[in-house]
Amino acid sequence: MADDLFARGMKTRRAVLGDAHVDRATAAMTAFDEDFQRFITQGAWGGVWSRPGLTARERSIVTIALLAALGHHEEVAMHVRATKNTGASAQDVKEALLHVAVYAGVPAANSAFRIAKAAFAERAKEEDAT
């Protein structure tokens, strides 16, 4: 069962975050964080992100809102970049962050808007370069 969750999780993690991100995370893994990496791959990616019921787009929007509300800025940026793979649009992210402003506070949303703007600008720059 654990191996199935890991394999499903790795497939979903790669689909959402991209091979380059997962390859970097895997290459940076040490004995210290190996168990943690397995845990998030099985639990978050294999157990939650791989479930039916919500689309990758919907999970992406929910995740960004939660991370923004909790002030996890690095993770907000990563998941905004991942919208390229999940189908969530900039408009979706904007709407989610407006909810964050109402339900989690303007400062949390303000930081997340700044981070999302930078992530979308970076992506546009990369797309223009190709």
Domain region containing 65 = 54-130
pLDDT of residue 76: 98
pLDDT of residue 3: 87
Domain check: are 24 and 65 in the same one?
Answer: no
Domain check: are 32 and 44 in the same one?
Answer: yes
pLDDT of residue 130: 80
Domain check: are 43 and 63 in the same one?
Answer: no
Give the pLDDT band of residue 122 (cuts 50, 70, 90): very high
Q: What is the pTM of this model?
A: 0.93
Long-range own/partner contacts, residues 69-75 (CB < 8 A, 24 or more apart)? 69/100, 69/103, 69/104, 69/105, 69/108, 70/104, 70/108, 71/108, 71/111, 73/111, 73/112, 73/115
Q: How many domains does the chain have?
A: 2
Domain check: are 31 and 82 in the same one?
Answer: no
Domain check: are 47 and 58 in the same one?
Answer: no
* For range 32-60, the mean pLDDT: 97
- For the purposes of burial, counting CB atoms within 10 Å of the CB of 74, is it exposed (0-12), middle (13-18) or buried (19 or more)? exposed
pLDDT tens-digit series, residues 91-115: 999 999 999 999 999 999 999 999 9
Query: In the numeric block, which tokens belong to residue 63?
Result: 């995740």
Average pLDDT over the chain reads 96
pLDDT tens-digit series, residues 63-76: 999 999 999 999 99
Domain check: are 18 and 74 in the same one?
Answer: no
